[in-house]
Amino acid sequence: MINRILIVDDEIEFGKAVQRFLRLEGFDADFAVNGQQAYYKIKNAVIEKRQFELLITDLMMPHMDGFDLINKVKANYPLISIIAISGYINQKEVKEALRPDMDGFLEKPFKPDSLRTMIENLCIYRKSL
């Protein structure tokens, strides 16, 4: 089951819109503006025993991009599912975003239904484990 979701995007309005949508869908959704802030929130959530089950991260951000964040999260918190999002991505980056340890990729802008469906499919998959 997925309850806690962290959205990471340097486009604050977009990230907050995704957060609002997920909260309306019944999720406990938090928001970070870059990879550094997100990793700090993930570490603190683990300490507080309120781990995130899903990370939705933009790939192109300042300070720590989504690729670096994904690598750190997968190395230290491998049970967190990850969906990458981006509006500015080349073919090489798409291949990296679709690597086997990733749970999904959405190109921005995306429809809320696409995100909902991807999360529902992740819930079904996690339940089957």
Domain span at 45: 4-128
Instruction: Count the domains in the chain.
Output: 1
- For residues 39-60, average pLDDT: 95
pLDDT value at 97 more than 80? no
Q: Cis omega (within 30 of 0) on the bond before 78?
A: no
Percentage of residues in the chain having pLDDT higher than 90: 67
Residue 77: give its domain's CATH number: 3.40.50.2300
> Across the chain, what does the average pLDDT equal?
90
Q: What is the pLDDT of residues 4-42, one digit of tens each?
A: 999 999 999 999 999 999 999 999 999 999 999 999 999
Kindly report the number of other CB atoms within 10 A of residue 106's CB atom: 17
- Give the residue with greater pLDDT, 87 vs 6: 6
User: Edge-to-edge, what's the strand order for the sheet holding 81-86?
Assistant: 28-32, 4-8, 54-58, 81-86, 104-107
Q: Which residues of 17-56 are buried (b: 16+ CB within 10 A; e: fewer)?
A: ebbeebeeeebebbbbbbbbbbbebbeebeeeeeebbbbb
